[in-house]
């Protein structure tokens, strides 16, 4: 039952975010912020597919323990693409609110993203092992959480200052995604049921993508 339900959920998620991304690219009508948002949605869906598709296959066949390498490789790729997702979201913020300059802020985003990706590449992560160390799961997620916090603050402040109703909850979607993700990183190995938090975390990302899509539908008539 878990295999069927989880596989259906993941299939709907991947198809939805990638489809919305394509629709945004095609329907942006020259609005670079929405075209970029569309690519961001595709990066999200394509990156997650490297982990979710092998997981679905594993659940529906011989079990997760027989797909350790593929699942680990998928997590590795997803960790990198999620970092790219937040860098793209930063540029959505810059374009939507017509931010100029602020080179220090851009440097901070690239620095945090670079550190995150560099940590993900370290062999100590043991991505392809069934016993990946928790410590490195924490190390690589510290700069990722800091990057997420920075994006939260930027969208919260800008949406409120500009009275941007379309993007007024963007900050909350990111808060929720990290709020559900961090317990999984810390305790899912010890308490497998905590892994279920990835479902609302995924829903938070769908909300993020839908915010951009509905804003485009309203503003690109």
Question: Is the pLDDT confidence value at 56 over 80?
Answer: yes
Cα–Cα distances (Å) from 206 to 44, 148, 150, 162, in that order, read 10, 16, 20, 24
Q: How many domains is the chain built from? A: 1
pTM: 0.94
Packed helices 198-219 and 2-27: angle between N→C axes, nearest 10 degrees: 20
- List pLDDT tens digits, range 107-127: 999 999 999 999 999 999 999
The tens digit of pLDDT for each residue in 157-171 reads 999 999 999 999 999
Alpha carbons 176 and 52: distance in angstroms, whole number: 20
CATH code (residue 20): 1.20.1070.10
The confidence band for 52, taking pLDDT boundaries of 50, 70 and 90, is very high
* Domain around 94: 2-219
- CA–CA separation, 19 vs 145, rounded Å? 28
Give which of 168, 216, 218, 205 is closest to 25, Cα–Cα. 216
Q: How many residues does the chain have?
A: 221
Q: Give the tens place of pLDDT for each residue, 63-75.
A: 888 889 999 999 9
Q: Give CA–CA dist 24/6, Å, rounded.
A: 27
């Amino acid at each position: 039952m878990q295999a069927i339900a989880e596989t259906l959920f993941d299939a709907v998620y991947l198809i939805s975010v990638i489809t919305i991304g394509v629709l945004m690219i095609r329907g942006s009508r020259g609005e670079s912020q929405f075209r970029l948002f569309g690519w961001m949605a595709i990066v999200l869906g394509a990156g997650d597919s490297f982990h979710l598709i092998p997981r679905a296959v594993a659940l529906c066949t011989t079990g997760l323990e027989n797909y350790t390498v593929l699942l680990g490789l998928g997590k590795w790729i997803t960790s990198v693409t999620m970092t790219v997702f937040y860098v793209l979201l930063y540029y959505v913020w810059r374009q939507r609110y017509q931010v100029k300059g602020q080179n220090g802020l851009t440097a901070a985003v690239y620095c945090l993203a670079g550190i995150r990706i560099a940590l993900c590449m370290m062999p100590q992560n043991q991505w392809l092992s069934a016993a990946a160390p928790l410590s490195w799961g924490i190390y690589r997620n510290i700069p990722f959480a800091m990057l997420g916090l920075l994006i939260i603050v930027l969208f919260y402040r800008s949406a409120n200052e500009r009275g941007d109703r379309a993007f007024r909850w963007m900050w909350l979607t990111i808060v929720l995604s990290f709020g559900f993700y961090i317990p999984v990183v810390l305790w899912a190995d010890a308490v497998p049921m905590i892994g279920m938090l990835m479902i609302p975390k995924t829903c938070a990302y769908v909300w993020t993508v839908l915010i951009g899509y509905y804003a485009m539908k309203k503003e690109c008539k």
